[in-house]
Amino acid sequence: MSTTPVKVAVTGAAGQIGYSLLFRIASGALLGPDTPVELRLLEITPALKALEGVVMELDDCAFPTLAKVEIGDDPNTIFDGANVALLVGARPRTKGMERGDLLEANGAIFTGQGKALNDHAADDIRVTVTGNPANTNALIAKSNAPDIPAERFSALTRLDHNRALAQLAKKTGTSVNDLKKLTIWGNHSATQYPDIFHAEVAGKNAAEVVNDQTWLENDFIPTVQKRGAAIIEARGASSAASAAAATIDHTRDWLRGSADGDWLSMAVVSDGSYGVPEGLISSFPVITKDGNWEIVQGLEINDFSRGRIDASAAELAEERDAVQQLGLIG
């Protein structure tokens, strides 16, 4: 085992997602079995007592990869020297809300955290935003951290990607292991577009294997888009264990690389690819290696996909304009 622990900061650490996420990070699921991890956990002051209880449980697991845990309510201290930051802490939506309804309530959290990352994180910092509305919160954090390269900020659409894989496997009677090159485009919201036109099922084109436009339009796409709401309706609380698992998948693959011959969905800063306005944090098909990502280029976009990608990008532009008006970005 190497000797210097990687510092992983997690915000909202005493929340639902935190309760699944921390134990997986501590057990090596993020960085592997040979890399010691130092957890740096941020919470609001009233939640620190509950967080102390979670830390007692982390101790009680005796994870060989967990080198140290620090907790606190000051992002300047908790982000000090952080190599990875998982920004989960934010209010979840409840029944009847859209994620965009959280913009004002949660957006402000990400200005202060962006500044604190800018001033205190390690030079190799990578930031994953899970707290909703994730894409625009990532935009806010990035905009408030001018000294950190923009490509170090990302937002989570891996849960949507994983949900789409599960639906496609069910429809085609295959396993998720047989599926490749699925893409979530756009916003982590009901306008996101899960695209199977370039996906493969056991090496064959997924859209051709499915060959069912009605299922695609009336079942697959809306099921993936509205899965978060369906879970809130059924569970009375938003997805937590699956969101934690996706946060790990996203960050692990960013740091350790995507599989050969496949790609991932990650919301990253747009360079204008596929007509998504430059600067928005939008989900794209990406290939990752050693902590870097690259948008997969050259995919042909049919008319069906074009309208949907544009609609989600338009929603992201509206969210950007709204947070600009709130003074959360310059």
Ligand X SMILES: NC(=O)C1=CN([C@@H]2O[C@H](COP(=O)(O)OP(=O)(O)OC[C@H]3O[C@@H](n4cnc5c(N)ncnc54)[C@H](O)[C@@H]3O)[C@@H](O)[C@H]2O)C=CC1
Instruction: Pick out residues in 19-78 that bind ligand X (CB under 6 A).
Output: 42-44, 47
Beta sheet of 204-205, edge-to-edge order: 179-180, 200-201, 204-205
Pick the stretch among 9-17, 252-260, 292-300, 312-320 that binds ligand X (CB under 6 A).
9-17
Residue 106 annotated as binding site: yes
Nearer to ligand OAA, 207 or 264 (CB): 264
Nearer to ligand X, 12 or 36 (CB): 12
Residue 15 annotated as binding site: yes
Pick the stretch among 37-45, 77-85, 223-231, 322-330 that binds ligand OAA (CB under 6 A).
223-231
- Which residue from 8, 93, 15 is spatially nearest to 47, judged by alpha carbons? 15
Run of H or E residues at 168: helix 158-172
Which residues, other chains included, contact 60 with Cβ-Cβ below 8 Å and sequence gap of 6+?
Answer: none
Q: Please, what is the minimum distance in Å from the beta carbon of residue 167 to ligand X?
A: 16
Pick the stretch among 16-24, 55-63, 191-199, 315-323 that binds ligand X (CB under 6 A).
16-24
Q: Site map for ligand X, 112-131, x if CB under 6 A?
A: ------------------xx
Q: Is 85 in the site for ligand X (CB under 6 A)?
A: no
Member of 7, 40, 93, 250 binding ligand OAA (CB under 6 A): 93
Instruction: Pick out residues in 144-173 that bind ligand OAA (CB under 6 A).
Output: 159
Q: Is 12 in the site for ligand X (CB under 6 A)?
A: yes
Q: Is 231 in the site for ligand OAA (CB under 6 A)?
A: yes
Backbone φ/ψ region at 80: left (φ over 0), alpha (ψ -120 to 50), beta: beta
Q: Give the span between the Cα atoms of 273 and 280, in whole angstroms.
A: 11
Q: Give the span between the Cα atoms of 70 and 52, in whole angstroms.
A: 10
Q: Is 228 in the site for ligand OAA (CB under 6 A)?
A: yes
Q: Please, what is the minimum distance in Å from the beta carbon of residue 70 to ligand X?
A: 14
Member of 238, 251, 270, 283 binding ligand OAA (CB under 6 A): 238
188 is catalytic: yes
- Distance of CA 92 to CAs 130, 133, 164, 250, Å? 11, 9, 22, 20
Run of H or E residues at 39: strand 37-42
**32-55 b/e (C-beta count within 10 Å ≥ 16 → b):** eeebbbbbbbbbeeebbeebeebb
In a 13 Å sphere around the CA of 7, the CA atoms on its Cβ side amount to: 20
Member of 31, 240, 269, 281 binding ligand X (CB under 6 A): 240
Please give the structure tokens belonging to residue 162.
Answer: 């994983």
Tell me the sheet residues that pair with 87.
11, 129
Q: Site map for ligand OAA, 110-149, x if CB under 6 A?
A: ----------------------x-----------------
Q: Give the span between the Cα atoms of 230 and 72, in whole angstroms.
A: 34
- Residue ranges that bind ligand OAA, judged by CB under 6 A: 92-93, 99, 132, 159, 228-229, 231, 238-239
Q: Which residues are catalytic?
A: 188
